[in-house]
Amino acid sequence: MEKLYIKYYRELYLYAFSLCKNHHLAQDLTSDTFFKAYLALDDDVEYFKYWIFRVCKNLYFDFIRKEKKYSSENELENILISEESSLDKIIETNENRRLYNLILDLPESYREILILYYYCEFSLKEISISKDMTEGAAKTMLFRARRKLKNALEGQK
């Protein structure tokens, strides 16, 4: 399990951060995901990488559902505010930081596919497995996400 943790921690953290845009929550989601993986890990998990990313996303949705029960919308927005200082530690160059911030501003489905493809280095086949969609649908979504990101980049100039 330790090898899997070392291998996937950074990718899973970036993915969690892309979902919630909050350093502390992303750390909690990442830790909870690995804890859940440790409890449920079986030798039969053929697609561990995809499975663990799906677990992380489900934990994030569970968190959102719980917060909606106990918080108003304004309080939830305050919880999900991103912390740029943590992002600075992960993304080293200004250009990458600017690009990553633009990705975080995209709609969730586009943001997620770009993070999985470029930062977590998933193939289209791997994305289609983890998101439970056809490979063609993943390719189309990636194309649209790239186009949306390109428009955002051109809009900044």
The pair of three-digit structure tokens given for residue 39, joined into one six-digit string? 């409890």
Rounded distance between C-alpha atoms, residue 73 and residue 125, angstroms: 36
pLDDT for 154 beyond 50: yes
Of the pLDDT bands very low, low, confident and very high (cuts 50, 70, 90), residue 84 is: very low
Environment class of 24 (CB within 10 Å of its CB; exposed 0-12, middle 13-18, buried 19+) = exposed
> Which residues have C-beta within 8 Å of that of residue 91, sequence separation ≥ 6?
97, 100
How confident is the model at residue 101, as a pLDDT? 79
Q: What is the pLDDT of residues 6-56, one digit of tens each?
A: 888 888 888 888 888 888 898 999 999 888 888 777 655 567 787 888 888
Length of the chain: 157
How confident is the model at residue 45, as a pLDDT? 59
How confident is the model at residue 144, as a pLDDT? 94
pTM over 0.85: no
Mean pLDDT of 76-92: 48
Q: What domains can be seen in the chain, in order of their start residue?
A: 1-86 (1.10.1740), 91-157 (1.10.10.10)
How far CA 106 is from CA of 59, 115, 117, in Å, comes to 21, 11, 15
Q: What is the pLDDT of residues 101-144, one digit of tens each?
A: 788 888 988 988 888 888 777 888 888 888 888 999 999 999 99
How far CA 49 is from CA of 53, 70, 71, 92, 101, in Å, comes to 6, 32, 33, 25, 25
Q: What is the pLDDT of residues 85-105, one digit of tens each?
A: 444 555 555 667 778 778 888
pLDDT for 157 beyond 60: yes
How confident is the model at residue 78, as a pLDDT? 52
